[in-house]
Chain A
Amino acid sequence: MKMILALGLVLITTGCVTSTVDEMVFNEPLAGIGDSTVVILGRRHASDYETEPDFIKCVGDHISRRDNSITVINEIDFINSLYPWFEPRTAPLHPEDITRLLEQDPVAQRMLELKTEYMIWVDGVTVQSDSAGSMTCGIGPGGAGCFGFGTWSNDSNYEAVIWDFTDQAEVGRVNTTATGQSYMPAVVVPIPIIAPVQGTACDGIGDQLLEFLSSEY
């Protein structure tokens, strides 16, 4: 009974999200990626935003959770093991740049050890906009409380570009956008009704990548 109540409360206090996913696949592997590994990396070239590391982890976890035969290499571990070749300054921008990278024996050797077949570059960000409303909180001898109403909108826009490491070519592109409105009414206690915008974008992009990488989807 308590579980049902808790679930009901979560559903009530979750805002609505609208999401769109576009996919372009040029060369899909028919039997999944087999023993090979995949790495998901965030693009961090733009001056005014960064693709959130949490989002990259979320997509990787989503793929691993749905198909545990797929090995997703942790982004930080991958970047550290190939330092300094995947820093924002040095990271390859085009699939052809992989050739230049593999000309260096230690890099080629490390890539062989990691068995990386697909490199997925995710570029995008979740931003908060259109915030409105006001809230006042106070504290006194009798207790504390808030009164007011706040609302804001979150917009996610991410694009994942899939590179085939062996063929050194781009083999697919997935784009996802998600928008949601969150609310926070407060009568003594503030009740946040949060729209899981970034989570929805993560699930959307993760599902599309699974269709590409997994033989089960």
Chain B
Amino acid sequence: MRSMTSGPDIRALGVALLLALLAGCGPNTVKVEGNFPAPLMEPIPLTLGVWYPEDFANHEFSDEAKTRSEPSWLVSTGDAQVAMWDTLLAGMFTDMVHMRGEPASGQMNQLVNAVLIPHVDELQYAIPQHTNIKVYEIWMRYRFELVTTSGEPIAEWTMAAYGKTPTAFLRSDQAAVNLAAVMALRDAGANFATSFTRVPDVAAWMDGGQQAIDNPPAEVDQALDAPPETEKAEVDS
């Protein structure tokens, strides 16, 4: 009798099966993806620079399984973080500029009123297997630094964000964790948008810097287009 499957086919099938078995041993990986709407609000009359540190832009969270019955988790939120904060800040302020480098004295950068540097200090998650409640949860604690272009601190504060989603028929753990993370990011945006001007140090700076706000830096575009020597001169002056 002639076999319907040739030798190489069987080997390929074996490799595929082995890979599938090995994949079953790996952690549950979630790359958070979602759509984030622009905020509906009067823009704050500031040109805000934003600098995403590398550990923020590539933020991921991993959790090793404590028992054999529990899966390990690897949740990457970096791309979604950047997408959400870009959309939020662009709608919240008159202008939003991505800085070329981390604000510091001597660092050539665009001219802005202040630079926001976000950090994710902590992320925790809970799935129904942990809590016996049919809800997936993500909790994050952000730390924000508001600094001048030369890196001098204006304000520093922390902010919590929380997202949850219920279990649903035919929804995988990964999809539910993704949805909970998207909800947490939306909550972070909502919290930031409604509390930014009420942070005491930020409010004091905005009151004191009203003159700067009334005269926003018109040189931003020129500084971006100018040759490096000119920029260096501007920064040094």
Contacts and interface: CB of A to CB of B under 8 A. Distances in A.
B190 A52 contact: no
Contact of B40 (A50, A83, A88): A83
B230 to A, nearest CB: 38
B135 A90 contact: no
Contact of B37 (A80, A90, A104, A105): A80
A64 B174 CA distance: 33
Interface residues of B, number: 20
B190 A87 contact: yes
Contacts of A80: 37
Interface in B1-37: 37
A155 B50 CA distance: 49
A94 interface: no
Contacts of B189: 83-84
Interface residues of A, number: 23
Contacts, number: 53
B40 A82 contact: yes
Given A49-B135, A50-B164, A87 B186 contact: yes
Interface in B130-187: 133-135, 164-166, 168, 186-187
B190 A50 contact: no
Contacts of A87: 186-187, 190
B235 interface: no
Given A50-B135, A89-B187, A89-B190, 15 more contacts: A48-B133, A48-B135, A49-B166, A50-B165, A80-B37, A82-B40, A83-B186, A84-B193, A85-B40, A87-B190, A90-B190, A104-B42, A105-B42, A106-B41, A110-B40
23 contacts: A48-B133, A49-B134, A49-B135, A49-B166, A50-B135, A50-B164, A50-B165, A52-B166, A81-B40, A82-B40, A83-B39, A83-B189, A83-B190, A84-B189, A84-B194, A85-B40, A87-B186, A89-B187, A89-B191, A89-B194, A90-B190, A106-B40, A106-B42
Interface of B: 37-42, 133-135, 164-166, 168, 186-187, 189-191, 193-194
